[in-house]
Amino acid sequence: MSATTFSSPVLRAAEALLAQVEPALIRDPAGVIWVSLDFMALLRATAARPDESEALADHALSVLREAAGPGATLLVSAFSFTFPQTGRFDAATTPVQTGAFGGLLLRRYPEARTLNPFYSFLAFGARAEEVLANRSPHSTGPDSIFEWVIDQGTDLVTLGHHYIKSLSSVHHAEELAGVDYRYRKSFPGRVTGQGETIDGTYTFFVRDLDTCGHSSITRAGDAHLRAQGLVDTWLVGTGRRRMLAHRLNLAAAHAILVDDLRRDAPRLVDYLGPGREDRPVVTGPMANTLYLEELATFRDANAPSDQETQAS
């Protein structure tokens, strides 16, 4: 366990909550697990103070690594999308744009970030060195960081938010399927990290701005993945501070999504754009609504066990 600087009640609350996530982490003792955690939800659930955030993030990582076991590899997203504007990416200092958890961990583990200037990950555990050695210039598609993630049979484990909000691998499926509303674009620039400075060209599967405002899983896609038994859900925490954990095997989901996208009329993935405002695409706000609805359903189903914690 890493050293912490927060109070014992926060420590106990964090360990009790994260221990309940263990079933999501142990499917494969030697597996790769991509953890996406709503850190604000964790702060609320543990009653931690804002000035305890960095220590709490570090301790959460320690607990999750211990639960997953010594043979597992944990990934935490540390994505950034400023490279097209700046032409610079420093693995140690370029801000993380995909959540406080990755940003806080980067402060303590700057050497653990991969060198892709778009889809960078923090890597910990058994195969961290292999992950950090990846120098692919591509974000998605063949020979990309996401191809590696999918090929390892990675489990996506989310805590405190809908799993779709973390499913960036859908864009890898879109590129492999050859959708016409996105295209691969190259960006030159300098990448720095792990003692290296690389001047190169890096690709990102960008939206055709005249056609696509947003693309993602649809409501039907979410329902289909669940019907196929690919989405596991746990209720964790106590009282009114409960939250959901989800687990999705990315390789199995990816195969389904690519197959659907290659059809004449895909149902599981779609995009919004001019004349397509009514498409059933799960946007960020919709994902938040769906998550709260699912959380309420789980809470209601477990209401008797909550009675003694109603005041919490």
Q: Domain limits of the chain?
A: 8-302
pTM (2 decimals)?
0.91
Nearest-angstrom CA–CA distance, 35 and 25: 9
pLDDT band at 304 (very low <50, low <70, confident <90, very high): low
The residues near 183 (Cβ < 8 Å, ≥ 6 apart) are 205, 206, 208
Q: Across 2-16, 28-42, 243-257, which has the greatest mean pLDDT?
A: 243-257
Percentage with pLDDT > 90 across the chain: 78
Residues 6+ apart with CB under 8 A from 132: 112, 114, 115, 123, 194
Q: What pLDDT does 241 receive?
A: 80
User: Of 268, 232, 266, 270, which is closest to residue 249 (Cα–Cα)?
Assistant: 232
Residue with the bigger pLDDT between 95 and 301: it is 95
* 106 closest CA partner among 73, 80, 133, 139: 80
pLDDT band at 309 (very low <50, low <70, confident <90, very high): very low
Q: Is pLDDT at 307 greater than 70 in this prediction?
A: no
Is residue 9 scored above 90 in pLDDT? no
Helix axes 53-68, 39-46, angle to 10 degrees: 100
Asked whether residue 76 carries a pLDDT value surpassing 90, the answer given is yes
Q: What is the pLDDT of residue 239?
A: 67
